[in-house]
Amino acid sequence: MTTTIGTPKTRPAVGIVSTGSYFPSQVITNAELAGPAGVTEEWIVRKTGIRTRRRASPDQATSDLAAVAAREAVARAGVRAADISLVIVGTTTPDKLGPAVACMVADDLGCPISTAAFDVHAACSGFLTALATAERFLAGTDGHALVIGADAYTRFLDPADRRTVVLWGDGAGAVVLGPTEPGRREILATKLLSDGSVSELATIPAGGSRLPATHGTVDGRAHYVHMDGRAVSQVLQERVPGLLDEFLKENDVEKAEIAHVVMHQGNANLVAHLGELLGLENARAHATAPVYGNTGSASIPVTLDQAVREDAIRPGDLVLMVAFGAGMTYAFTLLRW
């Protein structure tokens, strides 16, 4: 079943005040992965377009990555922790099954008890899902929200599984949302969808209430990511073009108007192929996958932050953000920078 959430255009402007990102220092090369995965470095680049990724250090968890990115975004926004009324973290790899990563980040930043904090679990659509949620929370107020995408997928990868181990890296990205002038970094529209009928195409089978940890689940490698990449790619090619067309039509936007595309970085080749398939060849497609791999919920905010650091997005540019993830989940956002 598919559900949609649209953002009415009559609401006061809420926009992105600042961005931030963080990557661990340890670099994972293709040479490191190729042998255990039974492939060559050339095979990895040919299949994925990814050359390096990052790995969190043994003493770092997802909340640590998220907190660094969050502190950077907050500092750039020029706001205090006391000014933040909401912290949402999109993640599929929390430190623990509980508490929420967002609560730990809020505490790390020194946010007051009046700050609401929670996580959203929408796989690689997590950041845009959190962004849509925060925008609705702030509508009609002068408050600020901290929205973070963070994942440490390298903790959940089977070194011998070439379908998954070559894809993911660790990282975190964050934005501060707040009141903006209309048309100035403004969130114009959001849309969230889902299709649980294909939920088994990408999953971590064990560790939840259906398959709690046992010797059997550990021995069976059920705590690692399992994904049918070919089937996922087929679903995306069949579904995303039509869903995007509907989203743009609902908001009276032509593809020729879009100046920038920030897409989930599933892998570098997929991003390039989907960009062409979506008919967005005239828009600048920003990419971080070749250097950082698939950073899960972090991939869109870190890619947006890179574009901001490069001063690539000019005032007035129309920015489209597109996410898709296990579930399957889909998310779209339009920004007027």
N-to-C CA span, the chain: 33
Q: What is the pLDDT of residues 8-64, one digit of tens each?
A: 445 569 999 999 999 999 999 999 999 999 999 999 999 999 999 999 999 999 999
Higher-scoring residue by pLDDT: 330, 7:
330
The mean per-residue pLDDT over the stretch 283-292 comes to 96
User: From CA 179, how far away is CA 138, in angstroms rounded?
Assistant: 8
Gap between the Cα atoms of 187 and 319, Å rounded: 10
pLDDT at 5 over 60: no
Residue 171: strand pairing partners? 151
Nearest to 191 by CA among 337, 330, 90: 330
Residues 83, 114: Cα–Cα separation, whole Å? 10
Q: What is the pLDDT of residue 12?
A: 65
> Which positions are catalytic?
124, 264, 294
Instruction: Check if 14-181 and 187-336 are the same fold.
Output: yes
**Can you tell me which residue has the tokens 């889909």?**
330
pTM: 0.94
CATH superfamily, domain 187-336, is Thiolase/Chalcone synthase (3.40.47.10)
Domain ranges of the chain: 14-181, 187-336
The per-residue pLDDT for 182 is 85
Rounded (10°) CA dihedral 57, 60, 63, 67: -80
14-181 CATH, one of 3.90.550.10, 3.40.50.1980, 3.30.70.141, 3.40.47.10: 3.40.47.10
Where residue 183 falls among pLDDT bands split at 50, 70, 90?
A: confident
Average pLDDT, the chain: 94
Which residues make Cβ contacts (< 8 Å) with residue 8, sequence separation at least 6?
Answer: none
Strongest mean pLDDT among 141-145, 172-176, 230-234: 172-176
Q: Are 4 and 192 contacting, i.e. CB atoms less than 8 angstroms apart? A: yes
Over residues 118-137, mean pLDDT: 97
Overall average pLDDT of the 204-222 stretch: 93
Give the residue among 88, 183, 186 at the shortest CA–CA distance from 145.
88
CA distance 251 to 248: 5
Which residue is associated with the tokens 């670099």? 27
pLDDT digits over 254-274, tens only?
A: 999 999 999 999 999 988 888
Name the amino acid, one letter, at 107.
Answer: D
How far apart are the C-alpha atoms of 337 and 331, rounded to whole Å?
19
